[in-house]
Structure 1
Amino acid sequence: MFEDPYTEHVLLTPGPTPIHPRAQQALMRPMLGHMDPEIFALNTEIQADLRAMYGTTDTTFTALLAGTGSLGMEAGFANLVESGDEVLVCANGSFGRRMADMATRYGANVRLVTAPLGEAIDPDDVAAQMNGVQMVAVVHGETSTGVLNPVPQIAQIARQHGALLTVDAVTTAGMEPFHMAEWGVDYAYTGAQKCLSAPPGLAPVAISDRALARYHARRTPTPLWYCDFEGLRDYWERHTYHHTVPVNLHYALHAALRAALDEGMLNRKARVQHVGQAIQTALAPLGFTPYVQRPEDRLPTVLALRLPDGFDDAGVRRALRERHISVTGGLGATAGLIWRLGLMGETARPAPYRALMNALEDLLGVQGLTARFDAALEPVPV
């Protein structure tokens, strides 16, 4: 039996996140055709705002792909990789491994740089394998383990060797400053439902001039017609038909992205850190500890906490779900070992986590969680 669709639910997952109120309101706008001049004007504003979010140059091509973040990942390999290319993939979690799988399917000779689960990629390991590499691919924030990889250092290495750099910015862009031009990133993507708190179904991308030059130097056509870079430019820049875009999702993304920029990336980063520290302070006496040992390697937007000994992971999460609170556990080797608490967009607020503390007090028969959480939130950052 399905629940009442209007039952309020507390999403504490690494995505999707609760829809921003301005995005929710934007979804109510009347439908327009995807070739309407008003939609082209809206798209132009989205492109400019994406340049601000990603920290690009004024001429960087930005767009929305009609799909989730995984389409953003695939589009990069489809357009920038040809059979026989040497691609180095940094894989220290599920999404790095997904990058390797996709690059292989597009004919790349994939070299892996790995790190143990819960540890960041070592830039020295990247440098050691760069001979002949044409592209480096890395996940900035590895959602599956809560690890932040050192993209600026990896970008410097890639640029020194003349290689393109593609970055999965799904759990970072839109919640903290991202410096695509300054770092030297060539292709970046995220998902609308992550840091921006827009509905799922769009993948905001940014493509550097170097990446477009590599695309135009291809020996063979892009095998993925739907996201061919020139086809995208036909629609986004030349305003000619390519495919039907989800106009209502564009409305919502535009509103959510503008709300994020209005708040400011430094303020959003501070909000994440503030709420995340309060969660850790509240749960630490129960035996919850950071899964990622080195503080500088911890991904702020996905708080990975090792569970206390004997903790009934599945049972507690099931009981929370019955109270309309969703918490995500580990993936693969970390299943039953960690919780991954989302701190992106509208999830990085005190209210959703106060609800979690109240519920855990009742379910676990403990006191003081909510009081510790609230105490740790003072003073509120400016």
Structure 2
Amino acid sequence: MSIRHLAVSLTAVGLIASLPASAMASKASKSDRDRDGLSAKAEKRLGTNARRADTDRDGLKDGAEVKLGTNPLRKDSDRDGVTDGAEVAAGTDPCPVRPNQVRGLVASVGADSVTITKSDASTVTLTVNADTKLRIPDRDASGTITLADLQAGDRVNAHTSTTDATIAESIVVKGGRKHGEEVEGVVSAVTADSLTITKEDGSTVTLAVNSDTKIKAPDRDASGTVTIADVLVGDKVEAYASATDAAVAVGIKVEAVKISGTVAAVGTDSVTITLADASTVTVTVNADTKLRIPAADGSATGTLADLTVGEAIQAKTIQGAGSTTIALGISAGSLIKGGEGHGHGHGHGAGDKVGAQNDRGGRGGRGGRGGRGR
């Protein structure tokens, strides 16, 4: 997977707020220590240095490079002999140009054409037809992306036909689907098309949710499709605003919390766990819960019936409907990774499990993911 593709695919992560305080832990690993606009988790995925704002020392912070589409690990992304930072300062495009590609700023938009001003100040007018693939923000919220959603000043990448260089095969607004500001906090309000997040400092951010918003959350309503309705007030999340519109969310992710303690009671579909402060949490177990419980023969094939009161236990959990807590995974006894799990809580993320629980992912609003020219 390329660095650029990986950067675009990064999703927002967070923790659940519905558990007792003893089940929560520090988020230091998620912080942006070098203040480059990328979380520690994002930097780990990209391979950049989480303690250096400008990993490749090209004059651009790593977060800025992700937004631009340049390589934060290479000083000169397009290999033209000029560093990315110098190109940005000079007003030129630091991204590599590929065959049949036109890059620049939209100068004007017609009923079936678009004129693009390139970095050398020359202009190119391309015809847009029904076969032209458009990856443009749905600015009129119609649910259908058309050329009317393109605006003068948009920075775009266009690919032309191999047989006719005046016809656009695709037009992409740069940054339209890339991450901008990272917002982390607790969900304080949810509507059909918006999400309000209360941050640690008490300030709130409201982000619009549309058909392009990628949502990773448990399918709480069991509809088979993850939507904004599956995100609940009280969820602790990380969201990414669009790089081109800071009021629109391109990604929202609800992540699990890992709690540890000892078994207090076992039901047919639940386990009650005693935490370090002597408080208890009862977690619901369902068909999707992954169990790692020692069986009589010592294998990891045990069931809830094999749990014993007082045994060390770990659970990855999410908030369910109402005040319930759902277990995504349970490990017990010798099968607890790292030997953890005796009477204390952890806040390590388990968001990959949330995503894996419903690999279909989700979209926030109505309509399709892309559009075609008209």
Q: TM-score range by the shorter chain?
A: under 0.3
Which gives a bigger RCO, structure 1 or 2 (Cα 8 Å, sep 6+)? 1
Tell me which protein shows more helix as a share of its residues: 1
TM-score (norm 1): 0.23
TM-score (norm 2): 0.24
